[in-house]
Amino acid sequence: MLISNLAASREAIFRAREISPSSPPQKRVLPSTLAGGITGGTAGAVLRGRANIIPGMIMFSLFGFAGQHIYNALDSRQSSDIPSSPTSTQGDVPSENAVRDQPRWKRILNSKYSPMKVLSDEQYEEMLREQLVRVDAEIALVDEEIEKVRATATEQRDSDL
């Protein structure tokens, strides 16, 4: 209940103030603080009674304020690790603007902390080729073993006769 209320309040404030995802991080602090206050006041009223509306608003406003500042600090630190030139010397490292334009789920999956990674079609084809080479090598080893077993079986049959 709290998270959905916070997210809905925050999104409504973003839309009302016409704040886009590409806007500077400082513009996101006030909506997060206000959404925290709305959520805290609602939670205080529903869960604990009328007397807890103001304390809930104050605490959750502080949580929203602090949380947005922490997110902005971590985001700027991660963004500073990305090269700023559109064409990087590392080849497949995208520019900061290209990373910011990606959907949030892609940025999360491509983060260095995620165990998963979004693959391009070329990367996926290369991965499949490598797996196919491994399977072909295993098949070749099994074929060699079969030939050895057949050879020993024919030798035993010839020696028994």
For the full predicted model, state whether its pTM sits above 0.85. Answer: no
- Residue with the bigger pLDDT between 108 and 41: it is 41
pLDDT score recorded for residue 85? 46
**Per-residue pLDDT at 98 exceeds 80:** no
Return the pLDDT at 97: 59
Residue 79's nearest CA partner among 59, 100, 55 is: 100
- Which of these, 43, 62, 50, 48, lies nearest to 5 by C-alpha position? 43
Whole-angstrom distance, CA of residue 21 vs CA of residue 31: 13
Q: Which two tokens stand for residue 157?
A: 């049959």
Query: Do the Cβ atoms of 28 and 60 come closer than 8 Å?
Result: no
Whether pLDDT at 6 is above 70: yes
Task: Break the chain down into helix, strand, coil percent, rounded to 5.
Answer: 75, 0, 25
Instruction: Please state, in angstroms and rounded to a whole number, the distance separating the CA atoms of residues 122 and 13.
Output: 41
| pLDDT at res. 62 | 95
What is residue 95's predicted lDDT score, i.e. its pLDDT? Answer: 57
Residue 135 — φ and ψ, nearest 5°?
Answer: -65, -40
**Which position has the higher pLDDT, 84 or 26?**
26
**Between 48 and 108, whose confidence is greater?**
48
